[in-house]
Structure 1
Amino acid sequence: MDFPLLNEVQETSELCEIHGIAKVKLKDFEPFCMECQKEKRDYMEQERVKEMFERNHRRKTIETLKLDSIVGDSKLWDADFKNYIPDNEESERALALTRKFAYEYLDREKKFNTIFSGVPGVGKSHLAMSMLKAINEHFDPYGSCLFISVNDLMRLIKDSFNNPQSKYTEMNMVRLLSKVDVLVLDDLGSESSFKRDNREAGEYIQQVLFGVLNARQRTIITTNLNSEELEAIYNPKIVSRIYKGVENHIIKFTEATKDKRSKIKF
Structure 2
Amino acid sequence: MEMFGFDDYMRKIARKHGIDLNKANIQDAIDHRDERQEQESIKFTKENNKVKRKRMFDSSVVSDPIILSKTFDDFNITDKIQKSEFDKARSIADRILNGEKGNFTFSGTPGAGKTLSAVSILNKIQHSDSSLTCYFASVSMLAQMNKDSIQYPEIKTDFINAERCIKQCDILVLDDLGSETSFQKNIKEASDYQQAMLFRLADYRAENKNKVNIVTTNNTSKELKRIYNGKIYDRLIASNFDNVIKFTSKDCRMF
TM-score above 0.5, yes or no: yes
| Structure 2 match to 1:235 | 229
One-letter amino acid of the counterpart of residue 85, structure 2 = A
| Structure 2 match to 1:248 | 242
Counterpart of 1:138 in 2: which secondary structure?
coil
Larger relative CO (CA 8 A, sep 6+): 1 or 2? 2
CA RMSD of aligned residues (A): 3.5
Q: What do the CA deviations read for 1:97-153 (whole angstroms, capped 9, x no partner)?
A: 001111111133x2221111111111111111111111222253x110111111122
Task: Tell me how far apart the structure 2 counterparts of residues 196 and 90 of structure 1 sit (CA, whole Å).
Answer: 37
Sort the Cα spacing of 1:101 and 1:36 in 2 relative to 1 into closer, same or farther, 3 A.
Answer: same
Q: Which runs of 5+ in 1 are unaligned?
A: 1-14, 24-31
Shift of 1:214: 1.6
Q: Out of 40, 59, 63, which is 1:68 matched to?
A: 59
Count of residues in Structure 1 that have an aligned counterpart in Structure 2: 231
Shift of 1:55: 4.7
Asked if 1:106 is matched to 2:97, the reply is yes
Shift of 1:225: 0.5
TM-score (norm 1): 0.72
Q: Which runs of 5+ in 2 are unaligned?
A: 18-32, 206-210
- Per residue, is there more helix in 1 or in 2? 2
Q: Is the 8 A contact 2:133 2:170 kept in 1?
A: yes
Counterpart of 2:66 in 1: which secondary structure?
helix
Q: Output aligned runs, 1:74-85, within 5 Å.
A: 74-85=65-76
Asked if 1:221 is matched to 2:215, the reply is yes
Sort the Cα spacing of 1:33 and 1:259 in 2 relative to 1 into closer, same or farther, 3 A.
Answer: closer
Task: Tell me how far apart the structure 2 counterparts of residues 147 and 102 of structure 1 sit (CA, whole Å).
Answer: 15
Counterpart of 1:251 in 2: which secondary structure?
strand
Asked if 1:163 is matched to 2:163, the reply is no
Shift of 1:235: 0.6
Shift of 1:60: 3.2
* Larger Rg over CA atoms: 1
Runs of 4+ in 1 over 6 A off after TM superposition: 42-52
Q: Output aligned runs, 1:186-225, within 5 Å.
A: 186-194=175-183, 198=187, 202-216=191-205, 217-225=211-219
Counterpart of 1:177 in 2: which secondary structure?
helix
Counterpart of 2:242 in 1: which secondary structure?
coil
Counterpart of 1:191 in 2: which secondary structure?
helix
One-letter amino acid of the counterpart of residue 52, structure 2 = K
Asked if 1:21 is matched to 2:12, the reply is no
Task: Tell me how far apart the structure 2 counterparts of residues 72 and 59 of structure 1 sit (CA, whole Å).
Answer: 23
Q: What do the CA deviations read for 1:183-225 (whole angstroms, capped 9, x no partner)?
A: 1111111122236994786222112211222222411111111
Question: Identical aligned pairs, as a percentage?
Answer: 31
Asked if 1:59 is matched to 2:51, the reply is yes
Asked if 1:91 is matched to 2:82, the reply is yes
Task: Tell me how far apart the structure 2 counterparts of residues 122 and 261 of structure 1 sit (CA, whole Å).
Answer: 8
